[in-house]
Amino acid sequence: AFDLQGKVCIVTGGAQGIGYAISQDLVQHGATVYIVDLNHEVGEKAASALGAHFKTLNVTDSDQVNAVFQQIIQEAGQVDVLVNNAGIVRNTPAESTSDNEWNLIMKVNLDGVFACCRAISHHMLSRGSGSIINIASMSGIISNHPQPQAAYNTSKAAVIMLTKSLAGEWAARGVRVNAIAPGYVATPLTKKGMETEEWRKVWLDTIPMGRLAEPEEIGPSVVYLASKASSYVTGSVLTVDGGYTI
């Protein structure tokens, strides 16, 4: 039920971090994977290491999203799965957040997800099948108050509502839309945070499982939502957070 043989998947922001680990898992389950990322140097290397394809894409440019997705559809013949993983985070107190920073976070984390969903929707709806997986965050469910991330939290909460809205619109037409809400994942950024004793304590004390997730612990949930195993699942938010939001 988890087999992805013959399936074509697009992973945004797959050059590194969680997106890379997701791409690896999809490839291991037999899928043809297209990594699309702003960072073409790292992205090219990542794709060739995984046996995936790569295309440069800035998800904030909706014309570029339409063009690149069209190119992939032509090249691969079909797209079965879209994983919206590209995202950015900033730690800035709300009262000091500039318009530019607020807009950038919304542009990448929310507008980018919508642009990608819309760009693939015509193809998926006309085929009557497809699975879209949006990488939200536990920060879209609870306000992770030790960290000043109002813009980020808001963008991720909006992604969750976007997920449910699209799921509702497209459910009867064969396209499923779900979200994953990871907790703290051990990436270079979070590892750096763990170096200070103060944050180590704040983080580990607040995670019931007492540890961060490894990036490899997110991929299997994506495989589940991408595959037949989740054929009756749409509009759901799967938390993968070591119990943080309990």
What is the set of active-site residues?
Answer: 152
22 is a site residue for ligand NAD (CB under 6 A): no
CB of 43 to ligand NAD, least distance (A): 7
87 is a site residue for ligand NAD (CB under 6 A): yes
66 is a site residue for ligand NAD (CB under 6 A): no
CB of 102 within 8 A of CB of 158?
A: no
Binding track over 158-187 against ligand NAD, x by CB under 6 A: ------------------------x-xx-x
> Directed axis angle between helix 150-170 and helix 99-106, to 10°?
30
Q: Which stretch binds ligand NAD (CB under 6 A): 34-42, 68-76, 168-176, 224-232?
A: 34-42
Q: How far apart are CA 115 and CA 123, in angstroms?
A: 14
37 is a site residue for ligand NAD (CB under 6 A): yes
Enumerate residues 6+ apart whose C-beta is below 8 A from 176.
130, 131, 132, 167, 170, 225, 230, 233, 234
Binding track over 45-64 against ligand NAD, x by CB under 6 A: ------------xxxx----
88 is a site residue for ligand NAD (CB under 6 A): yes
Q: Encoding tokens for residue 87? A: 């995202």
140 is a site residue for ligand NAD (CB under 6 A): no
Task: Tell the residue number behind the tokens 């054929």, with chain if given.
Answer: 231
Q: How far apart are CA 214 and CA 19, in angstroms?
A: 12
CB of 101 within 8 A of CB of 50?
A: no
Binding site for ligand NAD (CB under 6 A): 12-13, 15-19, 37-39, 57-60, 85-89, 108, 112, 135, 137, 182, 184-185, 187, 190
